[in-house]
Structure 1
Amino acid sequence: MNASCYTLSIFRPRQGKEEEALATWKKLIEYFHTLPHPPSGRGVVMRSFDTEGKYASFCPWSAREHVELVRADSGARAIIEVLLELTEADAGPYEVVNLVG
């Protein structure tokens, strides 16, 4: 994986919307992979061991510019808007500042 940045989200599906939120997240990542500058690896969703209903997701990108392009893409925006209706989320892009191992 050649990633210089990641999109990262901490989210909680709204009550009764967990399955729909996870399916929509998968749809978003699949859509990302149809774009001219797709993610540089697989998207990942993780569920908290400690906090019921809390999830984290991330997706690697080879360049910040690719993240900016996808965030401006109307198809991606439409799916993201659905996710925002289904979840309470804190999301955004992050750059890699250190790698270990």
Structure 2
Amino acid sequence: MTLFVPLSKLQLRMYRNYLRCGNVYGDDNIASNFNVMQPRKICQHPYLFPGIQDEGTDLVEDSGKLGVLDKLLKKLISEKHKILIFSQFVIMLD
């Protein structure tokens, strides 16, 4: 199964800042790493960036992927399914 999940509002703001300024904070004065990992991290979870968690309101809802996963897990667990989750970002499994 493949699901295409929209970004949360916080992720979308960070992604637009990255495209506009080259960093997730939206500040031209902050040094940023201009590699391909930054947009991937934004799409995983905004809290992977230092200081962003202070802006967030909900660990699950601030990540589009976690929001959908949370809903799927509740349904699958209630139906007694076995579940195996893979991730390229081990920190997302913590």
TM-score with structure 2 setting the length: 0.31
Greater share of helix: 2
Greater share of strand: 1
Q: RCO greater where, 1 or 2, for CA within 8 Å and sep 6 or more?
A: 1
TM-score with structure 1 setting the length: 0.30
